[in-house]
Structure 1
Amino acid sequence: MTEWPYVRLSEVCEKPQYGAIAKGSAEPVGPLFVRQTDIASGRIKWSSVPYCDLDPSEFEKYAIRPGDLLISRLGNGVGNAATVSETRSAVFAGYLVRFQARASVAVPEFLGYQLQSKAWRQHVAGFRSGAAQPTLNAQQMGDFQFTLPPLGLQRGIAATLSALDDKIESNRHIEDLVLDLAEAMYVDECAQGSELLLLKDSGRWLSGGTPSTSTTEYWGGDLPWISAASLKSFYVDASDRTLTAAGAAVATHIVPAGTVLMVVRGMSLKTEFRFGVAQRDVAFGQDCKAILPRIDSSVLAVALRANRETILGLVDEAGHGTGRLATDRLERLPIEVPTDTRFAKVADSLLARGTQAARENHHLVQFRDALLPELISGRIRVPEAHRAVEEAIA
């Protein structure tokens, strides 16, 4: 294997910077406001980014630019990182830290992939242990060590992995597009005729739970355990934590594909309503609710999406910046169900296309994550990896 020098992140970057203190808003009151919850798989999920009313004199100080590395410093998402890839009128929030690569020694996209590696996750985990509220300061981030190949190889590695990420991003665009189309068609159908249904009557409601985290035989199985932190996609089929059958049996429910899952407690509720449809059997934590639908699952999901702003208006404060959706308030929410039953088939077809894109992404992400350590360590050469990527995205 090629011998590349070990460096610290701080040695190949300019002085890190903490983000702006501001409040997110759905209204375009100022620049876009990138938060830790807007980071997914190494990129910024711009569709979820709110605005903020930032003093214009502060904009240049916090404005993000292509090549910026943003790292979450607090909470369940601590250590999550994204590389800014496009120019937007946007600033970054105070729970994020910005690193900027020194162009003479490091390629920012390569550094971004280092921050997706197992070595980085292990580095972060060393500071999470035993902490009630995990934190990571800029100095601790900067102490991360990794191998640094020459600039030309850094560019080649980044370009190879970016080809996969571009395909993943394209599929995510399809996922969002079919949801937008389904929602628009739902609104049109309801205008033609609909019946009101209280959300509590749309299906059987279930609460989740968390098995003892100190009992090792409960964790690490094949069953995804969905939490407020991991429910980020409409198409729910994976989580960063998994349960064994024994773990699920003692503390939570297992729900089948087609179940609608919702976050009812968490920091994300201050700015967005997270929900999705299970694509396979999953378990879930106490910060989520599940509905086993009595009406068509796709219709229920699209109806929730069309009412997400109304639902956000039901959120109250649970303390320490945590939002809460009280079950009794949510159950009383009236939703419209189109009287034309043909809409259900249309919605099913559209969401099936989104599911297809999401499943392809699941495999592409697994492939990328397997390729990443081989490339950045030099165990696989760029030309060999490039051929494998071309086959994967063909």
Structure 2
Amino acid sequence: MTVAVLADLLEFTRDGEWGEGEAGDGLVNVGIIRGTDFSSVRYGDLSGIPTRYVRAGVVEKKQLRPGDVLIETAGGTKDQPTGRTVYLRDELFQLIDKPLLCASFARFLRVREGSIDPQFLFWKLQDEYLRGELLPYHVQHTGVARFQYTQFASTHRLVVPDTADEQKAIASVLSAIEEKIQLNRRMNETLEALAQAIFKDWFVSFGPTRRKMGGAINPVAILGGLISDPAKAAYLAALFSTNLGEDGLPQGWELREIGEQSQALGGSTPSTKEPAFWEPAEHCWATPKDLSAQSDLALFETERKISDAGLARITSGLLPAGTVLLSSRAPIGYLAISQVPIAINQGFIALPPSESFGTAYLYFWCKANMEQIQANANGSTFQEISKRNFRPIKSAVPSDERILTAFVEIVDPLIARIVSAANENRTLAETRDYLLPKLMSGAVRVRDAERAVS
């Protein structure tokens, strides 16, 4: 093993930029990666990063490249200290048609050729962060927490393998797990988008009826190509009306309040001053924070749990697995499907599945009606959608319940595949986090790790 300090391994490093919100002379439109974007960027998702305008000369000096490592240098919290990192893979730059910079609360690290494998450096810094080795450099004054980068880079000792081949081998094992996680995430995005497209076509735009009115006679065409099986398409196409009524709905359909289709329940927080409400920790208890880092729709666990005594203080009680959770404030719009029985705090509207309107319908109804949900919110301090304002929101309901049944039969298997992949990702992440410190310390050899993840 070799001991090094970060500053000696780098060719170039600079703080990021925030730039301007509007275009102007000499300004270049760029994508900005913030610390809050690290977790999504890590898995190849740039959809949430903001675009800003930065002076051309600054962009030339600070434009990011494949192989750069970003480190967060300000803005951490007590539970999430500064010092998080992300590695910028080659394929990330193919997802955007403008230069990428990091935000001013971050810094990019560009490795000097031959000094260390850049991907290994990312994993090494990850290991240091997770083991708490970066905490001494996290300083909380009044205001924003900051990471003392200069002191860290010039004094903190990094113990690394002697050869580039060994570094690359370790990085390869860990990155292979990341790639499996990323592949599952992309598959889940595709499956969810397909299910959402079917919901919107059937229950929002009334595509099958409109296509019939337009003269379509082929069942697959009537279903918009979303159902490719000719026999299934023929059965489904026959269920949809051939005309729209004066109310704009397919004939026989009606507008019904979502509160008639499912209970819209709220929750509460048992007193945190009463230990008996929290110990023993027996039941999952969700807050919107549990959904903030969700990459898919499946919620398997919560940060906190409550006791039987605490559960008795929540009027909505223990909700069944399959309940749709919608965050109703701070912010409005996080969505998840609980995979376990769960209690909730006051930051949710919960929609347990009913006999006619199952989990899939309720989840995709929320997604399709999010603008209306947010428009019905109010509040002086922060926006909140109350149960009273939520329940009257209407949706189009078919007269023939076979349409609802068919939707469930088509979409439930898609959700099951999403849940399975999400659960696999939990196992992969646990394997990665188990191997990371052991590979770095030499307690596990690369060939053994490769067998574990193959």
Q: TM-score range by the shorter chain?
A: 0.7 to 0.9
Aligned positions of 1:336-375 closer than 5 A = 336-337=396-397, 340-341=403-404, 342-375=406-439
1:330-353 CA-to-partner distances (Å, cap 9, x unmatched) read 445434456521112212121111
Asked if 1:168 is matched to 2:181, the reply is yes
SS at match of 2:289: coil
Change (3 A) 1:298 1:128: farther
Change (3 A) 1:37 1:130: closer
Choose 373-382 or 75-84, whichever is displaced more. 75-84
In structure 2, the residue matched to 1:304 is 366
User: How far apart in 2 are the matches of 1:224 and 1:8?
Assistant: 43
Question: In the alignment, residue 82 of structure 1 is paired with which amino acid?
Answer: V
Asked if 1:120 is matched to 2:130, the reply is yes
User: How far apart in 2 are the matches of 1:222 and 1:186?
Assistant: 36
User: How far apart in 2 are the matches of 1:211 and 1:99?
Assistant: 45
Q: TM-score, normalised by structure 1?
A: 0.78
- Which of residues 286, 292, 301 is equivalent to 1:238? 301
Larger Rg, first or second structure (1 or 2): 2
Give the count of matched residue pairs.
Answer: 375
User: How far apart in 1 are the matches of 2:321 and 2:283?
Assistant: 13
Question: In the alignment, residue 153 of structure 1 is paired with which amino acid?
Answer: E
Q: CA deviation at 1:179?
A: 0.6
User: How far apart in 1 are the matches of 2:273 and 2:68?
Assistant: 36
- Which of residues 100, 104, 119 is equivalent to 1:109? 119
Question: In the alignment, residue 263 of structure 2 is paired with which amino acid?
Answer: G
Change (3 A) 1:16 1:244: farther
In structure 2, the residue matched to 1:135 is 145
Asked if 1:324 is matched to 2:405, the reply is no
Q: TM-score, normalised by structure 2?
A: 0.69
User: How far apart in 1 are the matches of 2:370 and 2:31?
Assistant: 20
User: How far apart in 2 are the matches of 1:189 and 1:357?
Assistant: 27
Q: CA deviation at 1:126?
A: 5.8
Q: Superposition RMSD on alpha carbons, in Å? A: 3.9
In structure 1, the residue matched to 2:9 is 12
Do 1:189 and 1:338's aligned partners in 2 also have CA atoms closer than 8 Å?
A: no
User: How far apart in 2 are the matches of 1:310 and 1:195?
Assistant: 18
Choose 199-208 or 148-157, whichever is displaced more. 199-208
Do 2:259 and 2:391's aligned partners in 1 also have CA atoms closer than 8 Å?
A: yes
In structure 1, the residue matched to 2:87 is 83
Do 1:222 and 1:242's aligned partners in 2 also have CA atoms closer than 8 Å?
A: no
Question: In the alignment, residue 118 of structure 2 is paired with which amino acid?
Answer: P
Aligned positions of 1:30-45 closer than 5 A = 30-40=29-39, 43-44=42-43
Structure 1: give runs of 5+ residues left out of the alignment.
none
SS at match of 1:383: helix
Higher relative contact order (CA 8 A, sep 6+): 1
Choose 137-146 or 345-354, whichever is displaced more. 137-146
User: How far apart in 1 are the matches of 2:115 and 2:199?
Assistant: 52
- Which of residues 249, 257, 270 is equivalent to 2:311? 249
Change (3 A) 1:345 1:44: same
User: How far apart in 2 are the matches of 1:229 and 1:248?
Assistant: 19
User: How far apart in 2 are the matches of 1:62 and 1:305?
Assistant: 38
SS at match of 2:351: strand
Q: CA deviation at 1:249?
A: 3.5
Asked if 1:64 is matched to 2:64, the reply is yes
User: How far apart in 2 are the matches of 1:381 and 1:387?
Assistant: 10
In structure 1, the residue matched to 2:53 is 54
